[in-house]
Structure 1
Amino acid sequence: MKRLYYWYDLDFNQHKIIAQSQQLAKRQLLLEGKIAIKIKAGAIITARSFHCADLLIITKQLATMLKAGLSIIDTLHLLVQEQPKPHWQYLLSDIKQQIAKGEALSHALHQHHSVFSPLYCEIIAVGELTGQLDESFEQLALLLEKSIKLQKSFKKAVRYPLFLLSVAMIVSLVMLLFVLPKFSDIYQDFDAQLPAFTQCIIDFSNNLQQSWLMWCIGFMVSYFCYQRYFKMRYRLQIEAMIIKCPIVGKAVQTSCLTQIFQTIAITQKAGIPLLTGLAATTNITYYSLYRNSILQIIAGIEQGYSFSHVLHQQLYFPNLCSQLIHVGEESGTLDLMLDKLAIYYQEQNQILIDNLSQAFEPLLMLVLALIIGSLIVAMYLPIFQMGDVIH
């Protein structure tokens, strides 16, 4: 983890530097022969500070300027001047300085591997060799745009259900911790036996009030155990169960297939060998099932089998994949078939996500009605017996 520091020279002009501590920032400036009369700490910078949306904009700008005939040094100089975010400004400036010293662009990008993926650097390296750096940036911009679109569609699908579940949880906790105890005090004044359902809810409310800290600790411990133990040890089994789910599983499968075929298609268009493209795909695939399948595909191709033959043996790749890949291999249009598969599964994923949202809405409304309705019935059920108690 690093931090942005603002330092001022003898003329009190402000400059920026990124270092792990203020002492290391001073040491770095001294090594560069610069004198800082004042250093002020700025924002903490991690890998998450460099958002994919910002990278997409910068990649598009690089592609446009290079296509217009500007050199990479001039392009980076303009981007540094126009960049409003200090951490991006410093990173681009550092890349420009490395290139000015004679480093290759791909090597300079690789120095910042937390921001630029191995696939990004590999495609840029191919562009440098072929002299088509502008086209390489265009392909990367297209890949990033599709990846961001895929992530946004998934987030859009889960945002509304998560919001409803959060509201249901908050309302339930408010009723159990604050509203129901007031009703409980009123019912005790009548010295009458409460309905079994109401008494059960009140007992649960009292238990929650007295041991809410234990509930929180139990939830945190359970979550920690799931993340650190069960998810790591039984990850493949959990993923297999998710993929077997009727609608959710298909949405996950099409999302993974879209990402995989988009990446391989881009690498093929960029002139990167198939095995290198497949290896790069393992770094961007979240699901271990598909990561293991790709590793098996790589091993099969290295043994001399065709891509379509090895793909046909994989359980989590539909037959359509191997059929179109076989046609691409026979006709010499593998990149075209990979692109068609990526487009097809992206369309299928969008349809499934829309259906997923529509399917979850009535189910969530039913869950909300059952939770909140049960609490309301439990509170007001004794009121219906109040007449008998008074008599």
Structure 2
Amino acid sequence: MATINLSKYPLNKKNNVEKKKIDETSIFDFLNKDISIFGSQLNDKKKERFYSELNILFTAGVDIKTTLELIEEEQVKKVEKELYRKIRESVINGVSLSEAIKLTGKFSTYEYYSIMIGEESGRLTTVLDELAVFFSKKIKQKRLVLNALSYPTIVLLVAFGAIFFMLKFIVPMFADVFLRFGGDLPYITKLIIKISKAFSLYAWYFIFCVLGISIFFFLQKQKDWFRRLSADFIMKTPIFGNIIQKIYLARFCHSMNLLISAKTPLLQAIQLVKKMVGFYPIEYSLGIVESNVLKGEPLSLSLSRYPVYNKRLIALIKVAEEVNQLDLVFGKLAKQYTDEVEHQTSLIGSLIEPIMIIFLGLLVTIILVAMYLPLFQLSTSFG
């Protein structure tokens, strides 16, 4: 495999020849975009592509200057082209690749330290490949969850839309008809009419309350108390809590595997993983685990105090510490958790679809029966 000298770079001036801007992207590229809302960093899809291309070109023996030029030239958007131009110019001016991406402010501390360790250990291509795999798996996990929840969400929205229309417009029309004929209405019909009246009176208050709560949650989402409470709620949610826990455990294990296999000291690996996992229970626990490991306590013993880490993970880490194979065990655990998440999300998706259809059908059926039952009684009395 070709090696790349990152300590010295040729001081060539910028090539002013750039490709013509392309304003339209293909539908395929659009569908493969990763979701990024109000994010200051590159989204995961672009990072995965960036690290994958760096790895391929470096492995092929292409020098770093040419590699960055090729990546810069293929960019469509002006902002992204400017980002890669800054990285290329920093590297040409003698800055290491890790420092160059750090200066842009678009990459995480985890990525910076991973690349820096790869440079220092001479395993840069391996680290780049692991980063590409990491972001690829992260994207896949997001899409699995989105695919499992998208159909039920659409069905729920359609159900509530249909119920809203019926309670707001259809039920009041039937209520007027029943009043004209007089007589005692069935209990289920009275109940639906009461719900319709209450809905008409308080619907807007309900909408404003939901909107207000959503805004409050959005403003508080980065605060520790909110992250702790929301994480506790998610963990206690049946079925979905277990899936979310495994997603973050897979991310934790894969990150530890990447850093430890790159010969990162354990304490530094814990510090880096704590900054990038993005799940409060793991972040909080790693902050305390770090100090315990510094005092000489085994990693498995420190992790065992927190329920977010299951017994199987703790047992395997304990064995890995005894045989000095932490990187191997973390890699196997990451794969196992990823496979379990894929299986469970696909299973839930296939089960939720018919359940939601049945739920929607029952709701509409109850309302229709409640409205037509008095009409059947009237027709029977006239007959």
The share of aligned pairs that are identical, in percent, is 26
Q: Are the equivalent residues in 1 in contact too, given 2:123–2:262 (CA < 8 A)?
A: no
Q: Are the equivalent residues in 2 in contact too, given 1:208–1:215 (CA < 8 A)?
A: no
Separation of aligned partners in 1, 2:250 and 2:284: 17
Separation of aligned partners in 1, 2:246 and 2:38: 31
* 1:206-221 equivalence runs, <5 A: 206-221=197-212
Greater CA drift, 291-300 or 380-389: 380-389
User: Which ranges in structure 1 are unaligned for 5 or more consecutive residues?
Assistant: 1-12, 17-44
Q: For residue 326 of structure 1, what is the aligned residue in structure 2?
A: 318
* 1:9-88 equivalence runs, <5 A: 47=39, 50-88=42-80
* 1:162-201 equivalence runs, <5 A: 162-201=153-192
* Offset, 1:344: 1.5
Superposition TM-score, scaled by structure 1 size: 0.80
Q: Are the equivalent residues in 2 in contact too, given 1:66–1:72 (CA < 8 A)?
A: yes
Separation of aligned partners in 2, 1:319 and 1:241: 21
Q: SS at 2:365's partner residue? A: helix
* 1:281-320 equivalence runs, <5 A: 281-320=273-312
* Offset, 1:72: 1.6
Q: For residue 372 of structure 1, what is the aligned residue in structure 2?
A: 364
Separation of aligned partners in 2, 1:259 and 1:14: 38
Q: For residue 7 of structure 1, what is the aligned residue in structure 2?
A: none
Q: Are the equivalent residues in 1 in contact too, given 2:274–2:286 (CA < 8 A)?
A: yes
* 1:94-113 equivalence runs, <5 A: 94-113=86-105
Greater CA drift, 271-280 or 177-186: 177-186
Once the two structures are superposed, what CA deviation does each residue of 1:97-143 show, in whole Å capped at 9, x if it has no partner? 22222222212211233x31111111111122233332221121111
* Offset, 1:359: 4.2
- CA separation of 1:70/1:352 partners in 2, compared to 1, >3 Å: closer, same or farther? same
User: Which ranges in structure 2 are unaligned for 5 or more consecutive residues?
Assistant: 1-17, 22-36
Once the two structures are superposed, what CA deviation does each residue of 1:208-230 show, in whole Å capped at 9, x if it has no partner? 33553322212222334555579
Once the two structures are superposed, what CA deviation does each residue of 1:281-303 show, in whole Å capped at 9, x if it has no partner? 22233331222222222121011
Q: Are the equivalent residues in 1 in contact too, given 2:171–2:196 (CA < 8 A)?
A: yes
Q: For residue 12 of structure 2, what is the aligned residue in structure 1?
A: none
Separation of aligned partners in 2, 1:286 and 1:385: 60
Q: What number of residue pairs does the alignment pair up?
A: 350
Q: Are the equivalent residues in 2 in contact too, given 1:239–1:287 (CA < 8 A)?
A: yes
Amino acid at match of 2:361: A
Separation of aligned partners in 1, 2:220 and 2:59: 50
Separation of aligned partners in 2, 1:358 and 1:331: 42
- CA separation of 1:366/1:286 partners in 2, compared to 1, >3 Å: closer, same or farther? farther
Separation of aligned partners in 2, 1:211 and 1:246: 31
Q: For residue 341 of structure 1, what is the aligned residue in structure 2?
A: 333
Q: Are the equivalent residues in 2 in contact too, given 1:109–1:121 (CA < 8 A)?
A: yes
Separation of aligned partners in 2, 1:124 and 1:226: 35
Separation of aligned partners in 2, 1:158 and 1:108: 39
Once the two structures are superposed, what CA deviation does each residue of 1:294-322 show, in whole Å capped at 9, x if it has no partner? 22221210111121222233322122222
Amino acid at match of 2:314: S
Q: Are the equivalent residues in 2 in contact too, given 1:282–1:294 (CA < 8 A)?
A: yes
Q: SS at 1:341's partner residue? A: helix
Q: For residue 134 of structure 1, what is the aligned residue in structure 2?
A: 125
Q: Are the equivalent residues in 1 in contact too, given 2:231–2:279 (CA < 8 A)?
A: yes
* Offset, 1:193: 4.0
In the alignment, does 2:120 pair up with 1:123? no
Q: SS at 1:103's partner residue? A: coil
Once the two structures are superposed, what CA deviation does each residue of 1:331-369 show, in whole Å capped at 9, x if it has no partner? 222111111111122222222223333443454344323
* Offset, 1:170: 1.3
Indicate the structure with greater strand content: 1
Q: Are the equivalent residues in 2 in contact too, given 1:183–1:379 (CA < 8 A)?
A: yes
Output the aligned Cα RMSD: 2.8
Superposition TM-score, scaled by structure 2 size: 0.82
